Amino acid sequence: MKTLIIYYSYGGNSALVAEELKKAADADVLELKTEDEKVRTGFAKYAWGGKQVFTHKYPELKPYTVTIEDYDRIIIGGPVWAGTPAPALQSFIAKTKISGKKIGIFLCHAGGKGKAMDKFKALLPGNTIAGEIDFVNPAKLDRAAVSLRIADWVGSL
């Protein structure tokens, strides 16, 4: 089974998960990057990200090449922003046809994922959601424990 990991990460948490997933799943990896990669902190970061969510103005992504048809299994994830999957993930899904795939979804958040997982699943109709997992700011957790949890999860997909 050929697996592709697709992720977006603003602060490194989802990147860490993607790295561990790659080790566990022997997969190709596509990192989504936005054209506007300016580093923001504090209130400015939340205001900027929240605005994208509430206005549904999803960011332009840096060019990428991917042939979804080449893969049987797709693991896709990133951060929760204002109770939804980060807008960059939504930009990708809006532009890329993903159907008939086995899907694993991961989310990183700060403890308030709300309905983000349900919203994520709703963006991917016509696929089989084989598994879902979420992490509370994994960059702050014990790396070995995160790694183990990810390996277990990948094994269950």
Ligand X SMILES: Cc1cc2nc3c(=O)[nH]c(=O)nc-3n(C[C@H](O)[C@H](O)[C@H](O)COP(=O)(O)O)c2cc1C
Binding site for ligand X (CB under 6 A): 9-14, 45-46, 49-50, 78-83, 108-113, 137
Smaller CB separation from ligand X, 102 or 121 = 121
Which amino acid makes up residue 42? Answer: G
For the record, the structure tokens of 58 come out as 């999803």
Q: Considering the complex, what minimum distance in angstroms separates the CB of residue 3 from ligand X?
A: 20
Q: Considering the complex, what minimum distance in angstroms separates the CB of residue 154 from ligand X?
A: 18
Q: Considering the complex, what minimum distance in angstroms separates the CB of residue 80 from ligand X?
A: 4
Q: What angle do CA 98, 3, 6 make, to 5 degrees?
A: 60
Smaller CB separation from ligand X, 27 or 87 = 87
Centroid of chain to Cα 89:
7
Smaller CB separation from ligand X, 98 or 107 = 107
Element (H, E) at 16: helix 13-25
Determine contact, residues 64/6, Cβ cutoff 8 Å: no
Q: Considering the complex, what minimum distance in angstroms separates the CB of residue 139 from ligand X?
A: 7
Smaller CB separation from ligand X, 49 or 59 = 49
Q: Where are the alpha helices (DSSP H) in 26-125?
A: 42-55, 87-95, 116-122
